[in-house]
Homo-oligomer: A and B are copies of this chain.
Amino acid sequence: MKQSFFAIALAAFSTTLAHTQSPERPDKSAEPGIPASSNVGAAAYPRIAPDSRVTFRLRAPNARDVKLEGGAGLVKTPLDLKPGEDGTWTVTTPPTVGGFHYYWFNVDGVRVNDPASYAWFGYGRETSGIEIPEAGSGFYEARLEVPHGTVRAQWYYSKITGQWRKANVYTPPGYDENRRTRYPVLYLQHGAGENERGWIEQGRAGFILDNLIAAKKARPMIVVVDTGYASYAGTIVGTNRSAATAAFDDVMLQEVIPMIDRTFRTRSGREHRAMAGLSMGSGQALNLTLRHLDKFAWIGAMSGPPRQGFDVATAYDGVFRDAQAFNRKVKLLWLGAGTAEERFHASTVTIHETLEKAGIKNVMFSSAGTDHEWQTWRRSLHDFAPRLFQE
Protein backbone atom coordinates (compact mmCIF):
# COMPACT_ATOMS: atom_id res chain seq x y z
CA MET A 1 0.00 0.00 0.00
CA LYS A 2 2.72 2.41 0.97
CA GLN A 3 4.06 4.21 -2.05
CA SER A 4 7.56 5.60 -1.85
CA PHE A 5 8.06 9.35 -2.01
CA PHE A 6 10.26 8.72 -5.00
CA ALA A 7 7.57 6.95 -6.98
CA ILE A 8 4.98 9.52 -5.98
CA ALA A 9 7.29 12.41 -6.81
CA LEU A 10 8.12 11.05 -10.22
CA ALA A 11 4.52 10.26 -10.98
CA ALA A 12 3.40 13.70 -9.81
CA PHE A 13 6.07 15.42 -11.82
CA SER A 14 5.17 13.44 -14.93
CA THR A 15 1.52 14.22 -14.36
CA THR A 16 2.30 17.92 -14.16
CA LEU A 17 4.20 17.72 -17.40
CA ALA A 18 1.56 15.57 -19.08
CA HIS A 19 -1.15 18.04 -18.26
CA THR A 20 0.79 20.92 -19.58
CA GLN A 21 2.85 19.83 -22.54
CA SER A 22 3.02 16.61 -24.40
CA PRO A 23 5.05 16.36 -27.58
CA GLU A 24 4.32 12.64 -27.90
CA ARG A 25 0.58 13.35 -27.79
CA PRO A 26 0.47 16.88 -29.21
CA ASP A 27 -2.27 18.95 -27.64
CA LYS A 28 -4.62 19.72 -30.53
CA SER A 29 -6.38 22.40 -28.54
CA ALA A 30 -3.18 24.30 -27.75
CA GLU A 31 -3.71 28.03 -28.09
CA PRO A 32 -1.16 29.99 -30.06
CA GLY A 33 1.47 31.88 -28.11
CA ILE A 34 4.19 30.99 -25.65
CA PRO A 35 4.31 29.47 -22.16
CA ALA A 36 4.87 32.12 -19.50
CA SER A 37 8.44 32.38 -18.20
CA SER A 38 6.95 31.98 -14.71
CA ASN A 39 5.75 28.46 -15.54
CA VAL A 40 7.17 25.43 -13.78
CA GLY A 41 9.41 23.23 -15.91
CA ALA A 42 8.03 22.59 -19.36
CA ALA A 43 4.43 23.57 -18.54
CA ALA A 44 2.69 24.86 -21.69
CA TYR A 45 -0.02 26.71 -19.72
CA PRO A 46 -0.49 29.48 -18.66
CA ARG A 47 0.09 30.50 -22.27
CA ILE A 48 0.45 34.05 -23.53
CA ALA A 49 -0.93 34.93 -26.98
CA PRO A 50 0.70 37.56 -29.18
CA ASP A 51 -2.08 40.01 -28.26
CA SER A 52 -1.23 39.50 -24.54
CA ARG A 53 -4.35 37.48 -23.76
CA VAL A 54 -3.53 34.62 -21.43
CA THR A 55 -5.06 31.14 -21.38
CA PHE A 56 -5.14 29.31 -18.06
CA ARG A 57 -5.99 25.67 -17.47
CA LEU A 58 -6.73 23.69 -14.33
CA ARG A 59 -7.65 20.07 -13.96
CA ALA A 60 -10.55 19.77 -11.50
CA PRO A 61 -12.90 16.97 -12.64
CA ASN A 62 -15.27 17.26 -9.66
CA ALA A 63 -15.48 21.05 -9.42
CA ARG A 64 -18.77 22.89 -9.89
CA ASP A 65 -17.40 26.41 -10.25
CA VAL A 66 -13.90 27.61 -11.11
CA LYS A 67 -12.90 31.26 -11.35
CA LEU A 68 -9.65 33.05 -12.17
CA GLU A 69 -8.80 35.89 -9.79
CA GLY A 70 -5.72 38.05 -9.35
CA GLY A 71 -3.98 41.35 -10.03
CA ALA A 72 -5.86 44.14 -11.80
CA GLY A 73 -3.55 44.14 -14.82
CA LEU A 74 -4.47 40.50 -15.43
CA VAL A 75 -8.14 40.27 -14.44
CA LYS A 76 -10.28 43.22 -13.44
CA THR A 77 -13.01 41.01 -12.03
CA PRO A 78 -13.12 37.22 -11.51
CA LEU A 79 -13.37 35.27 -14.78
CA ASP A 80 -15.27 31.99 -15.11
CA LEU A 81 -13.39 28.98 -16.41
CA LYS A 82 -15.29 26.54 -18.62
CA PRO A 83 -15.09 22.79 -18.03
CA GLY A 84 -13.95 20.44 -20.79
CA GLU A 85 -14.82 16.78 -21.20
CA ASP A 86 -11.57 15.62 -19.66
CA GLY A 87 -12.08 17.55 -16.40
CA THR A 88 -9.81 20.41 -17.43
CA TRP A 89 -11.20 23.90 -16.98
CA THR A 90 -10.07 26.70 -19.29
CA VAL A 91 -10.29 30.45 -19.63
CA THR A 92 -8.67 33.09 -21.81
CA THR A 93 -8.36 36.60 -20.39
CA PRO A 94 -8.86 39.87 -22.23
CA PRO A 95 -5.57 41.57 -23.25
CA THR A 96 -3.35 42.01 -20.21
CA VAL A 97 -0.90 44.61 -18.90
CA GLY A 98 2.81 43.67 -19.05
CA GLY A 99 4.68 42.76 -15.90
CA PHE A 100 4.16 40.48 -12.94
CA HIS A 101 0.66 39.64 -11.74
CA TYR A 102 -0.42 37.55 -8.78
CA TYR A 103 -3.28 35.16 -9.54
CA TRP A 104 -5.11 32.10 -8.26
CA PHE A 105 -8.08 29.89 -9.01
CA ASN A 106 -11.17 29.98 -6.88
CA VAL A 107 -12.49 26.40 -6.93
CA ASP A 108 -15.89 26.14 -5.25
CA GLY A 109 -14.87 28.87 -2.82
CA VAL A 110 -11.34 27.63 -2.03
CA ARG A 111 -8.32 29.55 -3.25
CA VAL A 112 -6.12 27.18 -5.26
CA ASN A 113 -2.69 27.88 -6.68
CA ASP A 114 -1.84 26.84 -10.22
CA PRO A 115 0.40 23.74 -10.13
CA ALA A 116 1.93 24.95 -13.39
CA SER A 117 3.23 28.26 -11.97
CA TYR A 118 5.75 29.10 -9.29
CA ALA A 119 4.50 30.76 -6.12
CA TRP A 120 5.40 34.18 -4.73
CA PHE A 121 4.62 35.54 -1.30
CA GLY A 122 1.74 38.01 -1.55
CA TYR A 123 -1.64 38.53 0.12
CA GLY A 124 -0.15 37.02 3.28
CA ARG A 125 0.29 33.63 1.62
CA GLU A 126 2.03 31.74 -1.15
CA THR A 127 0.32 32.83 -4.37
CA SER A 128 0.73 31.91 -8.02
CA GLY A 129 2.17 34.55 -10.32
CA ILE A 130 2.63 35.16 -14.02
CA GLU A 131 5.14 37.25 -15.89
CA ILE A 132 3.73 38.96 -19.02
CA PRO A 133 6.40 40.30 -21.38
CA GLU A 134 6.23 44.01 -22.16
CA ALA A 135 7.83 45.40 -25.31
CA GLY A 136 10.84 47.57 -24.55
CA SER A 137 10.95 46.66 -20.86
CA GLY A 138 14.25 44.85 -20.79
CA PHE A 139 15.29 46.97 -17.83
CA TYR A 140 14.37 44.21 -15.38
CA GLU A 141 15.63 41.25 -17.40
CA ALA A 142 18.89 39.39 -16.84
CA ARG A 143 21.18 40.38 -19.70
CA LEU A 144 24.13 38.50 -21.07
CA GLU A 145 26.40 41.48 -21.68
CA VAL A 146 25.92 42.90 -18.19
CA PRO A 147 27.92 42.01 -15.07
CA HIS A 148 25.70 40.62 -12.33
CA GLY A 149 25.73 41.27 -8.62
CA THR A 150 24.56 38.65 -6.19
CA VAL A 151 21.81 38.47 -3.60
CA ARG A 152 22.84 37.03 -0.27
CA ALA A 153 20.56 35.57 2.38
CA GLN A 154 21.73 37.29 5.55
CA TRP A 155 20.27 35.66 8.66
CA TYR A 156 20.39 37.56 11.93
CA TYR A 157 18.92 37.04 15.34
CA SER A 158 16.66 39.91 16.36
CA LYS A 159 16.47 40.37 20.13
CA ILE A 160 13.70 42.91 19.64
CA THR A 161 11.37 40.41 17.97
CA GLY A 162 12.85 37.32 19.59
CA GLN A 163 13.21 35.71 16.17
CA TRP A 164 15.71 34.74 13.53
CA ARG A 165 15.09 36.98 10.53
CA LYS A 166 16.45 36.95 7.01
CA ALA A 167 17.47 39.99 5.00
CA ASN A 168 18.19 39.64 1.30
CA VAL A 169 21.21 41.76 0.48
CA TYR A 170 22.15 42.70 -3.07
CA THR A 171 25.83 43.43 -3.55
CA PRO A 172 26.75 45.04 -6.88
CA PRO A 173 29.09 43.54 -9.52
CA GLY A 174 32.69 43.94 -8.39
CA TYR A 175 31.86 43.87 -4.68
CA ASP A 176 34.06 40.83 -4.07
CA GLU A 177 36.96 42.12 -6.14
CA ASN A 178 37.11 45.80 -5.18
CA ARG A 179 38.17 45.16 -1.62
CA ARG A 180 38.75 48.80 -0.75
CA THR A 181 35.53 50.19 -2.15
CA ARG A 182 32.75 51.03 0.26
CA TYR A 183 29.19 51.38 -0.99
CA PRO A 184 26.11 53.43 -0.15
CA VAL A 185 23.03 51.46 0.94
CA LEU A 186 19.41 51.51 -0.17
CA TYR A 187 16.86 49.90 2.17
CA LEU A 188 13.83 48.73 0.16
CA GLN A 189 10.50 47.75 1.73
CA HIS A 190 7.71 45.58 0.32
CA GLY A 191 3.93 46.01 0.61
CA ALA A 192 1.24 44.56 2.87
CA GLY A 193 1.02 40.78 2.82
CA GLU A 194 4.47 40.43 1.22
CA ASN A 195 7.91 39.77 2.68
CA GLU A 196 11.65 40.02 2.06
CA ARG A 197 11.30 37.97 -1.13
CA GLY A 198 9.15 40.62 -2.86
CA TRP A 199 11.73 43.07 -4.16
CA ILE A 200 14.06 40.28 -5.29
CA GLU A 201 11.63 37.81 -6.85
CA GLN A 202 8.62 39.85 -7.97
CA GLY A 203 10.48 43.17 -8.20
CA ARG A 204 13.71 41.90 -9.77
CA ALA A 205 15.60 44.62 -7.95
CA GLY A 206 18.90 42.83 -8.56
CA PHE A 207 18.54 42.77 -12.34
CA ILE A 208 17.27 46.36 -12.40
CA LEU A 209 20.35 47.52 -10.49
CA ASP A 210 22.71 45.36 -12.59
CA ASN A 211 21.39 46.99 -15.77
CA LEU A 212 21.42 50.54 -14.39
CA ILE A 213 24.94 50.16 -13.00
CA ALA A 214 26.27 48.66 -16.25
CA ALA A 215 24.78 51.62 -18.18
CA LYS A 216 26.40 53.96 -15.64
CA LYS A 217 22.95 55.34 -14.88
CA ALA A 218 23.06 54.37 -11.21
CA ARG A 219 25.97 54.29 -8.80
CA PRO A 220 27.01 50.89 -7.49
CA MET A 221 25.13 50.39 -4.24
CA ILE A 222 24.13 47.73 -1.74
CA VAL A 223 20.39 47.07 -1.55
CA VAL A 224 18.92 45.60 1.63
CA VAL A 225 15.52 43.95 1.44
CA ASP A 226 14.09 42.91 4.78
CA THR A 227 10.56 42.19 5.89
CA GLY A 228 8.40 45.06 7.12
CA TYR A 229 6.62 42.81 9.61
CA ALA A 230 8.23 42.98 13.03
CA SER A 231 6.42 42.55 16.34
CA TYR A 232 7.93 42.89 19.79
CA ALA A 233 9.00 39.63 21.40
CA GLY A 234 6.17 38.17 23.43
CA THR A 235 3.44 40.14 21.66
CA ILE A 236 0.45 38.13 20.50
CA VAL A 237 -0.15 39.57 17.06
CA GLY A 238 -3.32 37.83 15.92
CA THR A 239 -5.40 40.12 13.74
CA ASN A 240 -3.81 43.22 15.22
CA ARG A 241 -2.23 44.81 12.17
CA SER A 242 -0.41 47.54 14.03
CA ALA A 243 1.17 45.00 16.41
CA ALA A 244 2.43 43.08 13.37
CA THR A 245 4.61 46.04 12.33
CA ALA A 246 5.05 47.85 15.67
CA ALA A 247 8.72 46.94 16.10
CA PHE A 248 9.74 47.87 12.54
CA ASP A 249 11.50 51.16 13.36
CA ASP A 250 13.40 49.69 16.29
CA VAL A 251 14.47 46.61 14.35
CA MET A 252 15.68 48.76 11.44
CA LEU A 253 17.52 51.35 13.49
CA GLN A 254 18.90 49.17 16.27
CA GLU A 255 19.45 45.85 14.55
CA VAL A 256 19.34 45.81 10.73
CA ILE A 257 21.32 48.95 9.91
CA PRO A 258 24.10 48.23 12.46
CA MET A 259 24.25 44.59 11.27
CA ILE A 260 24.55 45.68 7.64
CA ASP A 261 27.21 48.30 8.45
CA ARG A 262 29.13 45.66 10.43
CA THR A 263 28.86 42.92 7.82
CA PHE A 264 29.24 44.74 4.50
CA ARG A 265 31.62 47.42 3.23
CA THR A 266 29.10 50.24 3.52
CA ARG A 267 29.49 53.99 3.65
CA SER A 268 27.64 54.58 6.85
CA GLY A 269 26.78 58.29 7.02
CA ARG A 270 23.26 59.60 6.38
CA GLU A 271 24.29 60.93 2.96
CA HIS A 272 25.06 57.38 1.91
CA ARG A 273 21.83 55.82 3.16
CA ALA A 274 18.46 55.73 1.39
CA MET A 275 15.15 54.13 2.17
CA ALA A 276 12.14 53.52 -0.04
CA GLY A 277 9.08 51.35 0.15
CA LEU A 278 5.92 50.52 -1.72
CA SER A 279 2.35 50.76 -0.45
CA MET A 280 2.49 49.77 3.23
CA GLY A 281 6.28 50.01 2.91
CA SER A 282 5.94 53.53 1.58
CA GLY A 283 4.26 54.54 4.81
CA GLN A 284 6.94 52.74 6.79
CA ALA A 285 9.75 54.43 4.84
CA LEU A 286 8.27 57.91 5.32
CA ASN A 287 7.55 57.37 9.00
CA LEU A 288 11.02 56.12 9.70
CA THR A 289 13.13 58.43 7.55
CA LEU A 290 11.27 61.70 8.16
CA ARG A 291 11.59 61.16 11.90
CA HIS A 292 15.27 60.17 11.62
CA LEU A 293 16.85 62.55 9.13
CA ASP A 294 20.08 62.11 11.06
CA LYS A 295 20.15 58.63 9.53
CA PHE A 296 18.75 59.08 5.99
CA ALA A 297 19.17 61.70 3.24
CA TRP A 298 17.39 59.92 0.35
CA ILE A 299 13.73 58.95 0.57
CA GLY A 300 11.31 57.20 -1.77
CA ALA A 301 7.56 56.65 -1.36
CA MET A 302 6.04 54.36 -3.98
CA SER A 303 2.27 54.00 -4.26
CA GLY A 304 1.61 55.32 -0.79
CA PRO A 305 -1.81 54.42 0.58
CA PRO A 306 -4.31 57.24 -0.12
CA ARG A 307 -4.39 59.71 2.74
CA GLN A 308 -6.64 62.60 3.47
CA GLY A 309 -5.95 65.83 5.28
CA PHE A 310 -2.22 65.83 4.63
CA ASP A 311 -1.04 68.93 6.50
CA VAL A 312 2.42 70.26 5.80
CA ALA A 313 2.56 72.02 9.16
CA THR A 314 1.89 68.95 11.28
CA ALA A 315 2.79 65.92 9.15
CA TYR A 316 5.64 63.79 10.50
CA ASP A 317 6.15 65.90 13.62
CA GLY A 318 6.40 69.08 11.55
CA VAL A 319 9.48 68.08 9.57
CA PHE A 320 8.20 70.08 6.55
CA ARG A 321 7.64 73.30 8.51
CA ASP A 322 11.04 74.77 7.69
CA ALA A 323 11.31 74.18 3.95
CA GLN A 324 14.82 75.57 3.62
CA ALA A 325 16.18 73.44 6.41
CA PHE A 326 14.43 70.40 4.92
CA ASN A 327 15.78 71.05 1.43
CA ARG A 328 19.30 71.45 2.77
CA LYS A 329 19.09 68.22 4.64
CA VAL A 330 17.16 65.90 2.33
CA LYS A 331 18.92 65.09 -0.92
CA LEU A 332 15.89 63.46 -2.48
CA LEU A 333 12.23 63.11 -1.64
CA TRP A 334 10.74 60.92 -4.35
CA LEU A 335 7.03 60.18 -4.79
CA GLY A 336 5.48 57.92 -7.39
CA ALA A 337 2.44 55.86 -8.37
CA GLY A 338 0.85 54.17 -11.37
CA THR A 339 -1.82 55.99 -13.33
CA ALA A 340 -4.13 52.97 -13.20
CA GLU A 341 -4.13 52.87 -9.38
CA GLU A 342 -6.22 56.00 -9.48
CA ARG A 343 -6.75 56.78 -5.82
CA PHE A 344 -3.11 56.14 -4.97
CA HIS A 345 -2.01 58.27 -7.90
CA ALA A 346 -4.38 61.15 -7.09
CA SER A 347 -3.33 61.16 -3.46
CA THR A 348 0.34 61.10 -4.40
CA VAL A 349 -0.14 64.01 -6.81
CA THR A 350 -1.92 65.98 -4.10
CA ILE A 351 0.92 65.44 -1.63
CA HIS A 352 3.47 66.30 -4.31
CA GLU A 353 1.71 69.57 -5.12
CA THR A 354 1.10 70.46 -1.51
CA LEU A 355 4.79 69.98 -0.76
CA GLU A 356 5.81 71.99 -3.81
CA LYS A 357 3.55 74.82 -2.75
CA ALA A 358 5.21 74.75 0.64
CA GLY A 359 8.63 74.99 -1.00
CA ILE A 360 9.64 71.38 -0.26
CA LYS A 361 11.65 70.02 -3.14
CA ASN A 362 10.37 66.66 -4.33
CA VAL A 363 10.13 64.50 -7.42
CA MET A 364 6.89 63.00 -8.75
CA PHE A 365 6.97 59.92 -10.98
CA SER A 366 3.96 58.48 -12.82
CA SER A 367 4.00 54.96 -14.23
CA ALA A 368 1.73 55.05 -17.28
CA GLY A 369 -1.05 52.48 -17.35
CA THR A 370 0.04 50.34 -14.42
CA ASP A 371 -1.97 49.52 -11.33
CA HIS A 372 -1.14 48.71 -7.69
CA GLU A 373 1.16 45.95 -8.91
CA TRP A 374 4.84 45.17 -9.29
CA GLN A 375 5.25 46.69 -12.75
CA THR A 376 4.62 50.09 -11.13
CA TRP A 377 7.29 49.38 -8.52
CA ARG A 378 9.86 47.99 -10.95
CA ARG A 379 9.49 51.21 -12.94
CA SER A 380 9.59 53.21 -9.72
CA LEU A 381 12.91 51.65 -8.73
CA HIS A 382 14.21 52.19 -12.24
CA ASP A 383 13.41 55.91 -11.92
CA PHE A 384 14.42 56.25 -8.28
CA ALA A 385 17.77 54.40 -8.13
CA PRO A 386 19.61 56.58 -10.70
CA ARG A 387 18.86 59.67 -8.59
CA LEU A 388 20.50 58.20 -5.50
CA PHE A 389 23.89 59.09 -4.09
CA GLN A 390 24.60 61.65 -6.82
CA GLU A 391 26.17 64.84 -5.59
Within 8 A of B (CB), among A101-148: 107-113, 115-116, 118-119, 121-126, 142, 144, 148
- Residues from chain B with a CB closer than 8 A to the CB of A307 are none
Asked, given contacts A110-B112, A115-B125, A238-B23, whether A244 binds B6 with beta carbons under 8 Å apart, the answer is no
Assign chain A's interface to a size class.
35 or more
One of A151-159, A354-362, A381-389 contacting the partner: A151-159
Whether a CB of chain B sits under 8 angstroms from the CB of A241 is yes
Contact of A372 among B4, B155, B179 (CB under 8 A): B4
One of A47-55, A69-77, A215-223, A249-257 contacting the partner: A69-77
B238 near A123: Cβ-Cβ < 8 Å? no
Asked, given contacts A24-B239, A108-B108, whether A41 binds B244 with beta carbons under 8 Å apart, the answer is yes
B71 near A5: Cβ-Cβ < 8 Å? yes
Within 8 A of B (CB), among A210-231: 229
* Bound form: Cα–Cα A194–B155 in Å: 23
Whether a CB of chain B sits under 8 angstroms from the CB of A95 is no
A6 near B192: Cβ-Cβ < 8 Å? yes
- Within the complex, the shortest CB–CB distance from A223 to chain B, in Å, comes to 13
Whether a CB of chain B sits under 8 angstroms from the CB of A2 is yes
B16 near A125: Cβ-Cβ < 8 Å? yes
* Bound form: Cα–Cα A305–B176 in Å: 40
- Residues from chain B with a CB closer than 8 A to the CB of A110 are 58-60, 62-63, 107, 112
Whether a CB of chain B sits under 8 angstroms from the CB of A268 is no
* Bound form: Cα–Cα A40–B10 in Å: 28
Which single residue of chain B is at the shortest CB-CB distance from A113?
B113
Which single residue of chain B is at the shortest CB-CB distance from A373?
B5
- Within the complex, the shortest CB–CB distance from A178 to chain B, in Å, comes to 12
Whether a CB of chain B sits under 8 angstroms from the CB of A344 is yes
A115 near B111: Cβ-Cβ < 8 Å? yes
Contact of A236 among B18, B23, B116, B244 (CB under 8 A): B23
A9 near B152: Cβ-Cβ < 8 Å? no
Asked, given contacts A63-B108, A157-B144, whether A372 binds B12 with beta carbons under 8 Å apart, the answer is no
Q: Scan A293-312; emit 1 where CB is below 8 A from any B CB, else 0.
A: 00000000001010000000
B164 near A155: Cβ-Cβ < 8 Å? no
Whether a CB of chain B sits under 8 angstroms from the CB of A80 is no
Whether a CB of chain B sits under 8 angstroms from the CB of A22 is yes
A72 near B17: Cβ-Cβ < 8 Å? no
* Bound form: Cα–Cα A280–B8 in Å: 13
- Within the complex, the shortest CB–CB distance from A306 to chain B, in Å, comes to 9
Whether a CB of chain B sits under 8 angstroms from the CB of A196 is no
A191 near B60: Cβ-Cβ < 8 Å? no
Contact of A305 among B6, B118, B122, B192 (CB under 8 A): B6
- Residues from chain B with a CB closer than 8 A to the CB of A206 are 153
- Residues from chain B with a CB closer than 8 A to the CB of A112 are 107, 110, 112-113
B124 near A12: Cβ-Cβ < 8 Å? yes
Q: Scan A1-43; emit 1 where CB is below 8 A from any B CB, else 0.
A: 1101110111011101110011110000000000000001110
Contact of A238 among B21, B122, B155 (CB under 8 A): B21
- Within the complex, the shortest CB–CB distance from A260 to chain B, in Å, comes to 13
| 7 A-B residue pairs with CB within 8 Å | A4-B344, A5-B373, A22-B238, A61-B109, A108-B108, A126-B126, A142-B155
For the A-B complex with A41-B229, A63-B109 known, give 14 more contacts whose Cβ atoms are closer than 8 Å.
A2-B77, A5-B72, A9-B122, A10-B280, A13-B192, A17-B237, A17-B239, A23-B238, A41-B244, A42-B238, A60-B109, A60-B110, A112-B113, A113-B113
